[in-house]
Amino acid sequence: MTIRFPDPNSRSAALFERAKRVFPSGSTRGQTYMRPYMIYAREARGCRITDVDGVERLDFINNFTTQLHGHSHPSIVAALQAQAAKGTGFNFATVAEIELAEMIQPRAKSFERIRFCNTGTEAVMHAIKAARALTGRTKIAKCEGVYHGAYDYAEISLDPDPQAWGHDDPSSVGFTKGAAESIQGDVVMVPFNDVATTRRVLEKHKGQLAAFVLDAVPSRCGGSPVTPAYATLVRDYTKKDGALMILDEVVTFRLGLGGAQTLYGIAPDITTLGKIIGGGLAVGALAGTVDAMAAFDQSQGKALVPQSGTFTANPLTMVAGIASMKLVTEESLSRLNALGDKARRAVRDAFRTAGVTAQVLGEGSLIVLTFAKEPPATYRDVYLANAAGGAQAMEELWQRLLNHGVFWSTTGLGCLSTPMGEVEIDQLGTAMLASLRAMKADDLDRLFP
């Protein structure tokens, strides 16, 4: 059994060599890429994942926050097995899509109408298209460095360096090489939670914006939640200016029955959803007001925004989503969020005991770790901390956590699943402390702030 990573003699290492013969760089999904080779999963149950070498680890990534109920939950497995025996996809609608929508709709006041798609990226893309169709405008505003999926417009200024920050207003720069300048010109950048700068920038584009896209707890800003003043500014400005407010809850919908909007009192025009509403399968959704969702109404002919997809609302995803959402109760989320508080304390205690400075933020069952001297509030804070050694420190910590039985993210993001309890949180704290001590023993103190 492989007990350490990397091990050139492991089965994962051999599989990676095989993968390199069919995939560029040996990977078909950026999020699973690792150096010097990728780890391959064999199976997963509850909150633990076992690789092809037989090594079991606590999963604090959960397919990047998707598996709220962990892996192979009996109710979800049973629903999938029953549906697979009936059919995996039809060119007809199914009762399951109505049932899942009916379960989601009451969870937030703004969810007057719902429409499914296949990913969070698609949800954001269609929401932006709807805003443009309804307003007749092309520009959108978003916060610097915040991730909203792989749509060209949503990717603008995803990882801008200091040269793009500007003295007054952030510049809009492409993420992928070859991003069209015309796209950059249609995306207005503002710094997250900076009320004064955001207000000034928005006023410069008065009457031009179709929408403002906001994430209430962006992990790439260190996990700090949106301030009431900032949320109010965005909502008031969009209403006054005739633009739509799009709230990206693909990740944050796990924070409460109605997501972040019910926790922070935000009333968006359109909310984008994904992750937990699909029970572990690929899913996306838009939920919004009757007026906003009218952009997709095709009852009178061609919709303002035609939206479809071969696998949209496929029955497997719908029944898995139903099983998942039945488990998302006030009680289950309250327990998980309280466990998240305990996990953040355990991680902070490990850093304090090890004598290493870091910031441990996040909300509810989301945990964001940043090697920084002070709590980060914006993307720029995280960028500077990472550039000063934080990114390398996180990479080193990630590898040591792997070897202490914990699977974390190299970005610093971690999350909990409902099968976890205090035993798993204690294991996390123990693994974190052992990993930090191993880093110090290897003379990696130079990476710490």
CATH number of the CATH domain containing 415: 3.90.1150.10
Domain final residue pick, 327, 358, 377? 327
Query: C-alpha distances in angstroms, 392 versus 112, 223, 436, 439?
Result: 45, 19, 13, 12
**Are both 108 and 53 inside the same structural domain?**
no
Do 51 and 40 form a contact (C-beta atoms < 8 A)? yes
Which residues make Cβ contacts (< 8 Å) with residue 106, sequence separation at least 6?
A: none
Given a cut of 70, whether residue 1 has pLDDT beyond it is no
Q: Which residue has the higher pLDDT, 42 or 162?
A: 42
Beta pairing class for 139-143 and 359-361? unpaired
Determine the Cα–Cα distance for residues 237 and 254; give it in Å rounded to an integer: 27
Is pLDDT above 90 for 101? yes
**Based on the domain organization, do 286 and 372 belong to the same domain?**
no
| Separation between Cα atoms, residue 38 and residue 50, nearest integer Å | 14
**CB 121, CB 153: distance < 8 Å:** no
Q: How far apart are CA 25 and CA 367, in angstroms?
A: 30
DSSP state of 243: P
Per-residue model confidence (pLDDT) at position 246 = 98
d(CA 27, CA 20): 7
**In-domain check, residue 9:** no
pLDDT at residue 438, rounded to an integer: 94
**In the predicted model, is pLDDT for residue 167 greater than 70?**
no
For residues 44 and 71, the answer to whether their CB atoms sit within 8 Å is: yes
What is the C-alpha to C-alpha distance for residues 401 and 278, in angstroms, rounded to an integer?
29
pLDDT score, position 171: 86
pLDDT digits (tens, 9 = 90+) for 217-243: 999 999 999 999 999 999 999 999 999
Query: Does 30 fall in a domain?
Result: no
Please check whether residue 157 lies inside any domain of the structure: yes
Residue 360 lies in a domain: yes
Q: Based on the domain organization, do 353 and 221 belong to the same domain?
A: no
Q: Are residues 258 and 166 in the same domain?
A: yes
User: Is 27 part of any domain?
Assistant: no
Model confidence pLDDT, tens digit, residues 15-72 = 999 999 999 999 999 888 999 999 999 999 999 999 999 999 999 999 999 999 999 9
Mark whether 264 and 159 lie in a shared domain. yes
**Distances in whole angstroms, Cα of residue 251 to Cα of each of 112, 218, 274, 294, 299:** 20, 9, 7, 25, 32
252 and 174 assigned to the same domain: yes
Beta strand pairing call for 244-248 and 209-214: parallel
Arithmetic mean of pLDDT, 192-211: 96
Radius of gyration, alpha carbons of the chain: 22
Q: Is residue 22 part of a domain?
A: no
Domain end point (choices 277, 309, 327): 327
Structural domains of the chain, count? 2
Q: Are residues 320 and 342 in the same domain?
A: no
Question: Residue 195 belongs to a domain with what CATH number?
Answer: 3.40.640.10
Q: What is the pLDDT of the chain when averaged over all its residues? A: 96
Name the pLDDT band for 146 (thresholds 50, 70, 90): very high
Residues 198 and 293 in one domain: yes
Tens-digit pLDDT profile for residues 317-341: 999 999 999 999 999 999 999 999 9
Instruction: Place 402 in a pLDDT band, splitting at 50, 70 and 90.
Output: very high
- pLDDT exceeds 90 at position 169: no
**Full residue range of the structural domain in which residue 335 is found:** 40-68+329-447
Is the per-residue pLDDT at 2 higher than 60? no
Percentage of residues in the chain with pLDDT exceeding 70? 99
Note whether residue 58 is domain-resident: yes
pLDDT tens digits for range 272-290: 999 999 999 999 999 999 9
Q: Are residues 283 and 416 in the same domain?
A: no
Mark which of 268, 300, 327 sits at the end of a domain. Answer: 327
In this structure, the answer to whether residues 46 and 105 fall within a common structural domain is: no
If 0-12 CB within 10 Å is exposed, 13-18 middle and 19+ buried, where does residue 145 land?
A: buried
Residues 353 and 405 placed together within one structural domain of the fold: yes
State how far Cα 116 lies from the chain centre.
Answer: 18
Assess whether 283 and 165 both reside in one domain: yes
CA nearest to 3, candidates 66, 64, 51: 51
Is 423 part of a structural domain of the chain?
Answer: yes
